[in-house]
Amino acid sequence: MNADILIKNALIVTIDNTDRIIENGSIIIAEGKIVALGDDSIETGYSCTKTIDACGNIVMPGLINAHTHIPMTMFRGMADDMPLQKWLNEYIFPAEAKFLTAANVTIGAELAIYEMIRFGTSCFADMYYFEEEIAQLCKKIGIRCLLSEGILDFPVPNNPTPQHALDFTERQILKYKDSRLINFAVGPHSPYTCSEEWLKKGRALANKYDVPYHIHLSETSYEYEQCIEHNGVTPLQNLDRMGCLEGKTIAAHCVFFSEEDVALMVRKQVSVVNNPQSNLKLVSGVAPVPFMQKSGGNVALGTDGAVSNNSLNMFTEMKVAALIHKLNHHDPTAGNARDIVKMATINGAKALSLDDITGSVEVGKCADLIIIDINQAHAQPLYNVYSQIVYSLCGHDVDTVMVDGIVLLEHKKLLCGNLQGAIDRMKLLSNEIKRDFKF
């Protein structure tokens, strides 16, 4: 049988239902999908156009960044170490008001996508503005994504009203409904930036097309307490009162969740995305992730935007998540490495409603794979592969990235675009921003 790619001599971390690990394993890929998986005996009978020798290195699913704002790379590092309100009102909001254009969003998003690929991310969920430009970039570069246009009560650079944003979202859902890589969700920004009317209309649109409803929720104590004061219930319970949890839901942050919230999350099958580094940097707090997991909830992992994290590196996010939940719960078994790796892979796929095609290494799924170089001093000896991934390895150890059977990064060299060109364009844009803010 003819096939496209053979990966051999691999330490395969499948993240399947049995957490199978295959030593000296092989993977056969044809038409973007995994068609055979196992020991080297599966190679018999296949004629492959390309052979990749993994040299004993880790082969695993590509990482899934389940919540971010990738164009915000243009503001990375411009307003660090400041109180939240000063950060927002004196820097971020004015910068967005002046510099958010389709062209600048494209510059920020392109550099972000290259950064994510370099660090092993094969799929991401974004919420921002000008998402059509981001969709075109993802299609050109070849990365998998779930995009959502931010819906807010007030005018934003490309949508003067929330109805414009809803109409735009519906057009994109229809336009990309048959795409192999591009998916659209409905993105009401948050309960404190969207009125009940638009939260409900967003839910109705998401359910009309059976796509996820992507929202920021319970990120700060102020938001949590204000909601209880004004509505008598928590932000999650208030969404439930509106009927906004009836369908696929991605809730980012969820730092402040009561026991009742966790039970409701599980009952309504809400997927939570933990963003530990952003929450730490902005002093938002630490989400009760271990309790969510023990209760049966699906918790994924995301970086948030580079402006509140400074990095889109999911390896760093995994390590911080593991460590902070141990400390916060005074429990060294919390945030165990295997659970953290699942948060960054199959749990992210479930959150994005893409777990039927990605998030694990299984026959029939898309070949969204990464190869991680463990033939290095800091990666040896190897006793527990999950511990090595979370505590020892880093984004720069990623050697190869493949999405839908197409190699985007090979031997740490980007094959899917012009990285230097993207860096040069970002330097020109950042010089404009520096002059305006007089850094």
Average pLDDT along the chain = 96
Cβ atoms 257, 265 nearer than 8 A = yes
Is domain 63-351 annotated with CATH 3.40.630.10? no
Query: What value does the mean pLDDT take over residues 226-247?
Result: 98
* pLDDT value at residue 344: 98
- pLDDT reading at 171 higher than 80: yes
Q: How confident is the model at residue 336 (pLDDT cuts 50, 70, 90)?
A: very high
Q: How confident is the model at residue 87 (pLDDT cuts 50, 70, 90)?
A: confident
Q: How confident is the model at residue 439 (pLDDT cuts 50, 70, 90)?
A: low
* Confidence (pTM): 0.97
* pLDDT value at residue 355: 98
Per-residue pLDDT tens digits for 277-315: 999 999 999 999 999 999 999 999 999 999 999 999 999
Per-residue pLDDT tens digits for 205-228: 999 999 999 999 999 999 999 999
- pLDDT reading at 436 higher than 90: no
Query: What value does the mean pLDDT take over residues 395-408?
Result: 98
Nearest of 180, 219, 187 to residue 205 by alpha carbon? 187
* pLDDT value at residue 79: 84
First-to-last alpha carbon distance for the chain, in angstroms, is 61
* pLDDT value at residue 88: 80
Can you list the alpha helix ranges (DSSP code H) found in 346-410?
Answer: 346-351, 385-387
* pLDDT value at residue 111: 98
Cβ atoms 91, 46 nearer than 8 A = no
Query: What value does the mean pLDDT take over residues 79-85?
Result: 82
List the domain boundaries for the chain: 63-351
Query: What value does the mean pLDDT take over residues 238-257?
Result: 98
Q: Is the peptide bond before 381 cis (omega within 30 degrees of 0)?
A: yes
Per-residue pLDDT tens digits for 124-159: 999 999 999 999 999 999 999 999 999 999 999 999
- pLDDT reading at 121 higher than 90: yes
* pLDDT value at residue 413: 98
Query: What value does the mean pLDDT take over residues 19-38?
Result: 98
Return the sign of the alpha-carbon dihedral for residues 424, 430, 435, 439: negative
* pLDDT value at residue 89: 84
Q: How confident is the model at residue 174 (pLDDT cuts 50, 70, 90)?
A: very high
Cβ atoms 224, 235 nearer than 8 A = yes
- pLDDT reading at 83 higher than 90: no
